[in-house]
Amino acid sequence: MTDSGFTVDVDQNQYLPEDGRDVSAVVTVTSGTDVAVAAPSGGAGSAEIIIIDCSGSMDYPPTKMTQARAATAAAIDVVRDGVGFAVVAGTSTAWPVFPADGRMAVASAATRAAAKQAVAGLRANGGTAIGQWLGMARQIFAGYPAQLRHAILLTDGKNQHETPAQLAAELSQCEGTFSCDCRGVGTDWEVSELRTVSTTLLGTVDIVPDPAGLAADFAAMMENAMGKQVADVSLRVWTPQHATVKFVKQVAPAVEDLTGRRTQSGPQAGDYPTGAWGPGESRDYHVGVEVNPAGVGQEMLAARISLVTPSGAQVLGQGLVRAIWTDDEALSTKINPRVAHYTGQAELAAAIQEGLEARKQGDEETATAKLGRAVALAHQSGNEDTAKLLSKVVDVVDVESGTVRLKKKVEDADEMALDTRSTKTVRVKK
């Protein structure tokens, strides 16, 4: 069903066996080429903050700091005229680099040039406290009435100068305020740490093993952010009485479990955040619902899935998930191919992360089993990118059965690339 430039399509096997309770569906949400939403009165449409790690380790090798400055300049060049923007530097504290008064600048040829000049003066020195950096960004965003707020965060190290609890506390304050794409440069940073930031703030995380790749990456992230038109859309799942939502996961373009992020939006309805959307974007969500069984031949609406604006005032699109009870085994045992595919992709991501963790802990048996399972799943689903990354960590003996041997020597960058990109999925054709 379509409205306001969004379509919501539901793919499922509607048939359940006599006592069947579990209903599973893949919901595809696609934004039209003309989606847009009005900016709030008196405010600009979007705002951007670039957060740069300026800790001492950014000088080892010096190319890191040099390329970080170049990447920031490349991202500034992409900021459109009229968009609010700022640059923040982070060590064991954080401070505004541009504008120096901690406000937002409005992008123009003059402010972009001034920002790049300020960035050129950045030097590496000090520690790492990512929560402080995010807090500074949050304060700057708070003073600027923009609908779409996005940050890019670059670090090369672990969050050593504050406690995990301090970072978690700051993240909970930032959640829902802005989105954040995280990049780790080199191999001395912690994947799980940055993944927590990017997941909470509905962004991406990736490794840039060689600093020389930073400028292109930053420009692409900013280009993508400039393309967003609609802020903070939620997936609203309504279920009938005596039915419960078991899970809601984004499954394409990457696996992101949204189940724990539900906010109640009314009787029997909950909202799950999907972040900002650009025109012509398409994402898949896997929704699982448990219903009370009904008699053979009976049909019920198991869930109504709507796409809603932040206030919930506007429904942008809607799809229905049904359940029909049957005693025809051929109907009830058929697994919808898209549901099966994405169940496998979610298992693939988990197998990689568990396998790498076991490898780190020295549990070679578990690591071999999990990474072997990942190889088989990547092969079955045609996820070639993940298969390539896996082949740098294991020697594949038999791809069909997932028989592998752990490589004796693995580059840190290869292992971290596999970990950060483990959640990227391939789509299955309808």
Q: Is 372 a member of any domain? A: yes
Residues 15, 87, single domain; the answer is no
* Domain at 363, CATH number: 1.20.120.1690
Residues 86, 121, single domain; the answer is yes
Residues 6, 110, single domain; the answer is no
Please list, in sequence order, all residues whose beta carbon lies within 8 angstroms of the beta carbon of residue 326, skipping any fewer than 6 positions away.
15, 16, 17, 296, 297, 332
Whether the CA torsion 351, 354, 358, 363 is positive or negative: it is negative
Q: Is 217 a member of any domain? A: yes
Q: Is 14 a member of any domain? A: yes
Q: Is 252 a member of any domain? A: no
Residues 198, 319, single domain; the answer is no
* Domain at 119, CATH number: 3.40.50.410
Give how far Cα 142 sits from Cα of 138, 162, 297, Å: 6, 23, 55
What burial class does residue 340 get, using C-beta atoms within 10 Å of its C-beta: 0-12 exposed, 13-18 middle, 19+ buried? middle
The pTM score is: 0.93
Whether the CA torsion 189, 191, 192, 198 is positive or negative: it is positive
Q: Is 128 a member of any domain? A: yes
Domain end, chosen from 333, 365, 381, is at 333
Q: Is 167 a member of any domain? A: yes
Residues 344, 322, single domain; the answer is no
DSSP element (H, E) containing 140: helix 130-142
Domain end, chosen from 167, 198, 226, is at 226
Instruction: Give the pLDDT confidence of 308-344 residue by residue, as tens digits.
Output: 987 777 899 999 999 999 999 999 999 999 999 999 9
Of the candidates 83, 27, 18, 93, the one whose C-alpha atom is nearest the C-alpha of residue 303 is 27
22 beta partners: 290
Q: Are 31 and 281 in contact (CB under 8 A)?
A: yes
Q: Is 430 a member of any domain? A: no
Residues 64, 202, single domain; the answer is yes
Please list, in sequence order, all residues whose beta carbon lies within 8 angstroms of the beta carbon of residue 208, skipping any fewer than 6 positions away.
183, 184, 185, 214, 217
What would the DSSP string read from start to end of 144-175?
S--SEEEEEEEESS--TTS-HHHHHHHHHHHT
Residue type at position 149? R
Residues 70, 217, single domain; the answer is yes
Instruction: Give the pLDDT confidence of 215-269 residue by residue, as tens digits.
Output: 999 999 999 999 998 888 999 999 999 999 999 999 999 999 999 999 999 899 9
Kindly give the confidence (pLDDT) of every residue in the chain, 430 residues in length, as a single tens digit, with 9 standing for 90 and above: 444 689 999 999 999 999 999 999 999 999 988 776 544 333 458 999 999 999 999 999 999 999 999 999 999 999 999 999 999 999 999 999 999 999 999 999 999 999 999 999 999 999 999 999 999 999 999 999 898 999 999 999 999 999 999 999 999 999 999 999 999 999 999 999 999 999 999 999 999 999 999 999 999 999 999 999 888 899 999 999 999 999 999 999 999 999 999 999 989 999 999 999 998 999 999 999 999 999 999 999 999 999 998 777 789 999 999 999 999 999 999 999 999 999 999 999 999 999 999 999 999 999 999 999 999 999 999 999 999 999 999 999 999 999 999 999 999 999 999 999 999 999 976 6
Phi and psi for 48 in degrees, rounded to 5?
A: -130, 140
Residues 326, 355, single domain; the answer is no
Residues 97, 166, single domain; the answer is yes
Q: Is 427 a member of any domain? A: no
Q: Tally the domains of the chain.
A: 3
Residue type at position 278? G
**pLDDT cut 90: percent of the chain above it:** 90
Residues 101, 153, single domain; the answer is yes
Q: State which residues form the domain around 236.
A: 2-37+231-246+262-333
* Domain at 298, CATH number: 2.60.40.3670
Residues 25, 77, single domain; the answer is no
Residues 279, 346, single domain; the answer is no
